[in-house]
Amino acid sequence: MSNEQEPPLILHRISDFGDDLSEDNSRFLTIPNFPLSKEDETLSLNDELRAWAKGLHALEAATELLIRSFDGRFAKPGNPWIDKDMDSGNVWVNFEAIPENLGGTSGGERRLLMLAASLSDVGVEINLGDYLPGLDRKILNLVLAAVAQAAGSHEHSDLLVNEAGEPTSIQRLDSLYPWPDES
């Protein structure tokens, strides 16, 4: 018997692996995730959250919004909406828990968190007119990128035609509003 510990696991949606899996599987599959160094712990958590959200544009956008806003503090352990399975080590964002856990947040933080929860498509509904005014420019930039991501604009394409108007090829378009560079 070995003294080696098993690596933590990352959850992946079945859709990440195609449609040939049986219905007996839950929404997630587990894949070994070999641990990173302490310095990479935050990067690892962000990568795990991104892997969890992968494939559902609205969920990807909402998760990315938490990771990129306010120096990522709302995508870190200790927030009541960041859940972790103690047996597997898998993490995910419970966006439904955000509205009831906003105590101690500023007005701008509250707006951002509610926008992310609503964008995640878990049933949190907001009036954009109540939440967009008052966002600072940096957060508004992230919200615009999140909306473009949720709409799938990074996967849009356009038909190219020649001078005669005949179709020649299809071109993949860039995101309508890309995520700002992280600095």
What tens digit of pLDDT does each residue of 39-53 get? 445 558 999 999 999
What tens digit of pLDDT does each residue of 105-135 get? 999 999 999 999 999 988 899 999 999 999 9
Give the type of residue at 150: A
- Pick from 94, 101, 132: nearest CA to 115: 132
For residue 39, count other CB atoms closer than 10 A to its CB.
Answer: 8
Tokens encoding 66: 């938490």
For residue 21, count other CB atoms closer than 10 A to its CB.
Answer: 11
pTM to 2 decimal places: 0.69
